[in-house]
A and B are shown apart, each in its own frame.
Chain A
């Protein structure tokens, strides 16, 4: 056998063992991780991961989740201008627990003293009692991971979003907070080169914590004219909590009603503020009625519904309608 043939055989053997090794590792990691001795895992553990690391450190492996979280309101819960203004330069005690939670675990958390600029970050939600927790039972060589079923339950989000959680509970709807605000896609939990090939794709929640869009399909309206009164009914048909909702923020729906006479001149205008802090948010599947006295003859009413999130001074148009007697 000449040298090049030997070399070819050697390379083929290396390739064979490499593929076999990856296949065995893939099988063990994804199917039989309980077979892997703890002593072997200890050799590859990265101890600092269990010392409340910064979010960037988690991004070494969980890059996609980190990138999503970076776009979320959670990531700026301590640094956002709205929060700083509303909390009188972060001096309000009541805000601390949920804007810089130490460890979220189904009840109101305690505030933390370290890494406050990271807001509600990886460690806040996944590091509980000294262990890394998540929704899956799996082996992650750099740190031990524990499956915690709370991650797919609304109760977990209710640690801070307590009022919204209670509103949702009262609706008896099955869709959880995570179903709507963390929609899942099949993806890998890690993007670290090499490790990503060893992990099967799983259902991964969107860590941007999406804020639902509301439209004409969600908020229905009925109107009627009755002698010298004009009546409006609004119905939150699809969102299984108050619209809008917040524990301490102040999101609002503004309902503008403008009355015109037959000449097209404005004769009166009024508005309603639908806001959780005023206890006027639209409850799920329950009509809310408004009644207005007409001081002058009216031939047209223009009605607009606009939404203003808690963190913005800008309003978005939800819908606009015109009705006539």
Chain B
């Protein structure tokens, strides 16, 4: 019981140390160019991410095997951790200073004593090196290699059938949405119905836009799927009725805004803004 508690405490401390420690002010710098070679299309796989997983597995492997008293595997993981840590330190020259080979070797030596307390204590120095890099670089790396640059995406405007900048298209779709709402508010239902037609075709065009990055249809259906489709049907029903029901109309307006616009903006806009700043330089 005591051993389990000690293990849990040290493992938690070690785990927390490799997590990023965020200061209140975060500066996001674009990652160095030399990192490009470890992400597609320059490599087949996201090698840098895979390297991080290797380090994490060997680090965790030491503690898991210490707990299981499988000392042969403790030693193997300790050696592999030092080997992979050294290899990682050479991958991105600009980040060399984040690494402390002596701390890694000290941890491996402590792990090889097969004493949980010693290993836990030695993990602190090593964990700090990981945590510092994660705190300063992790968000930037994720932003650069895992999020699209929306302002580079072209969208086919369903009306002109020409490709337009994504930002311009967003303004256009926002205009059509407003046109429908304003005309409805003024009781001009015919104009509102025509605006709905334009708005719907622009909105559905976003499904094609999602496909420019996403391979699974479920992703685009989350934003522009069945719920949005039902809301559009509800809007069309009201605008084609003799006497439209304002309550139903505005309810469906809200649904369209919530399922598509809000969800997508919450997910994508922050990263897109960061990338835009980097690419403006």
Which residues from chain A sit less than 8 Å from chain B, CB to CB? 85-86, 88, 90-94, 96, 110-113, 229, 247-248, 250, 254, 270-271, 273, 275, 277-280, 293, 295
Contact = CB atoms under 8 A, between A and B. Distances in A.
Contact of B44 (A111, A247, A250, A273): A111
Contacts of A279: 207, 217
Contacts of A110: 44
Given A273-B201, A278-B207, A91 B41 contact: yes
Closest 6 CB pairs of A and B: A93-B40, A277-B208, A277-B211, A278-B207, A94-B215, A278-B204
Nearest to B201: A273
A74 to B, nearest CB: 19
B152 A278 contact: no
Nearest to B159: A271
Contacts of B156: 250
Interface string B200-239: 0100110110111111010000000000000000000000
A295 B215 contact: no
A25 B158 CA distance: 63
Nearest to A162: B215
B132 interface: no
Contacts of B208: 250, 275, 277-278
B186 interface: no
Nearest to B221: A279
Contact of A277 (B40, B161, B194, B207): B207
Nearest to A296: B190
B201 A271 contact: yes
Nearest to A292: B197
Contact of A250 (B40, B204, B211, B215): B211
Chain A CB count within 10 A is highest, among B41, B161, B190, B213, for: B41
B217 A90 contact: no
Contacts of A293: 193, 240
Contacts of A273: 158, 201, 204-205
13 contacts: A92-B213, A93-B41, A96-B41, A96-B44, A111-B40, A229-B240, A247-B215, A273-B205, A278-B204, A278-B205, A278-B208, A295-B190, A295-B193
A90 B205 CA distance: 23
B191 to A, nearest CB: 9
Interface in B71-112: none
B138 interface: no
A254 B161 contact: yes
A241 to B, nearest CB: 16
A150 B30 CA distance: 47
A50 B190 CA distance: 68
B213 A94 contact: yes
B149 interface: yes
Contacts of B240: 229, 293
Contacts of A88: 149, 152
Nearest to B225: A279
Nearest to B217: A279
B268 to A, nearest CB: 16
Contacts of A270: 197
A248 B41 contact: no
B95 to A, nearest CB: 22
A86 B204 contact: no
B41 A90 contact: yes
Contact of A86 (B149, B193, B210, B212): B212
Contacts of A247: 215
A248 B208 CA distance: 9
B198 to A, nearest CB: 9
B40 A96 contact: yes
B149 A280 contact: no
A113 B201 CA distance: 40
Nearest to B44: A111
Interface string B136-166: 0000000000000100101010100100000
Given A88-B149, A88-B152, A293-B240, A113 B207 contact: no
Nearest to B204: A278
A87 to B, nearest CB: 8
Contacts of B149: 88
Interface in B13-67: 40-41, 44, 46
A295 B240 CA distance: 10
Nearest to A249: B211
A184 B51 CA distance: 48
A267 to B, nearest CB: 12
A96 B46 CA distance: 13
A262 B100 CA distance: 84
